Amino acid sequence: MWFLAMLWASCLLMGTHAQGSTSFRRANAGSGRCQYTFTVDSPTEASCPSAGSSPEMEALKSRLGLLEALVARLVGGEAVSESSQGSRSQSGLQDAYNQVMGENAQLQREKQKLDRQVQDLQQRTEELRQETERLRSRPCMQQPPPRVPQNENSFRPGSGPALSHLVSRPGNTQGDKSSLRGPAWHNENPGYQELTAVVTEVSAPNLEGPADISGCGDLVWVQEPEVHRKAESIAGKYGVWMQDPEAKEPYGPEMVWRIDAVGSDVRQLFGYENMDQLSRGFPTKVLLLPESMESTGATMYKGSLYYQRRLSRTLLRYDLLSESIAARHDLPHAGFHGQFPYSWGGYTDIDLAVDENGLWAIYSTNKAKGAIVISQLDPHNLEVKGTWETKVRKTSVANAFMICGKLYTVASYTSPNTTINYMYDTATSQGKTISVSFKNRYRYNSMVDYNPAQRRLHAWDNFYMVSYKVRLGKQE
């Protein structure tokens, strides 16, 4: 830059005296030194045009022209450079903006695609929900009977009872432990375990004599089923039928009650004057329950229908006289709607039962890990009076009922020749394996209940309403 300033000063000097004439001479001063003389025309002389230019002036003008060209080129180059840099910067910003806009457009397209997928999933979920409701309204598919190991103890016609898959606490199993074919016991494990046990037929003396209906004892014999009626439609593939062992006015002890349990809104209660009218199919009373019923676990006791409200663990007492709900109570921690059903399914999580000792609930809980829990209920307000936990998995048995404070389980709901294979006594809090012959004539038994007044079992076997006479005694 100092070079440019010097050049610019020279330009100014030349500009001031451009129109004057100058001369420059060099001579020897005689003293060994050079003498230089520089002469400039006076203003008057400078105002006169000169006849010519000196070589030095011409050279200076040439250098000045070159200098001006250089300065112009340098100044123009810097401007061009700045302009170029600005242009490149603007171009870079435009490219970045275009890239961001492109990414934004792509994100919008992805969002629209995800929105369409969410809508498709929601539509599919609604279709599945509707399909689930439709399937719930249909009867459950028949399940195959429990698999029995084929060994020397397997069931053969005429050779004795079939083996049963049983569950029991160590020490409660009767008989020789060497006969067990299941996994080895681990005494340190407090939970229930499954095993296969060899059981023997229990003798029942005096089967040909009159039934003794006084007192209580162990179940030792069940008669062949007696058929009373077949349901007319698919709604009656499974259901519940019963008689009140302690009937109250206006209905007598001969009154028969029936509920077809297939469907998502089970509310009709049919009443028949007696067994003959049930067989003929002529109801004398039809009641509409105020709240839907779940499955086949209902029972009749002391002038009231006791049942489980659909899709809940709530128990209801429906008073037949007032035709209204007289009490309701949630069964604490009870599984419902398919959590712990019997092996045949049908949402049989809570099964209400009546015996000589009163009203009972047979169910399970998460705490019990699927094992059968028994609770005795107050028939007036449905509150729990006492609870017992067994070591039998509820889903491993086809059905259960109470007799004289003892729980009994049925091994299979499809096998025509099965057994009542387990008993738990609430008086002693002890359980044991048993084998009492039981018939499923129509191979789809969805309900078994005991009537203490008649000493009979009522059952619903694949559209058929049947009953079994029973005998109580002392098991050997």
Residue by residue, DSSP assigns 87-142 as HHHHHHHHHHHHHHHHHHHHHHHHHHHHHHHHHHHHHHHHHHHHHHHHHHTSPPPP
Query: Which region, left, alpha or beta, applies to residue 242 given φ > 0 means left and ψ of -120 to 50 means alpha?
Result: beta
Low-confidence residues of the chain, pLDDT below 70?
A: 1-32, 34, 36-57, 60, 71, 73-90, 133-214, 476
The pLDDT of residue 53: 54
Contacts of residue 35, defined as CB under 8 A and 6 or more positions apart, other chains included, come to 26, 27, 28, 29
DSSP-derived 3-state class of residue 288: strand
- Show contacts of 188-195: CB within 8 Å, 24+ apart: 191/369, 192/167, 192/168, 192/369, 192/371, 192/391, 192/392, 192/393, 193/167, 193/391, 194/165, 194/166, 194/167, 194/393, 194/396, 195/165, 195/166, 195/167, 195/168
Dihedrals phi, psi of 382, to nearest 5 degrees: 70, 15
Distance set, CA 285 to CA 208, 247, 297, 437, 440 (Å): 38, 16, 21, 36, 30
Dihedrals phi, psi of 292, to nearest 5 degrees: -65, 150
For residues 351 and 400, the answer to whether their CB atoms sit within 8 Å is: yes
DSSP-derived 3-state class of residue 80: helix
- Joined together, the tokens standing for residue 46 give 């400078």
Distance set, CA 120 to CA 108, 117, 123 (Å): 18, 5, 5
Sheet holding 256-260, edge to edge: 239-242, 256-260, 266-272, 285-293
d(CA 297, CA 345): 12
The pLDDT of residue 198: 34
DSSP-derived 3-state class of residue 219: strand
Residue 223: CB atoms within 10 A of its CB come to 16
The pLDDT tens digits for 3-40 are 554 544 454 445 444 445 556 666 666 666 767 665 65
The pLDDT of residue 40: 59
Instruction: Record the pTM.
Output: 0.59
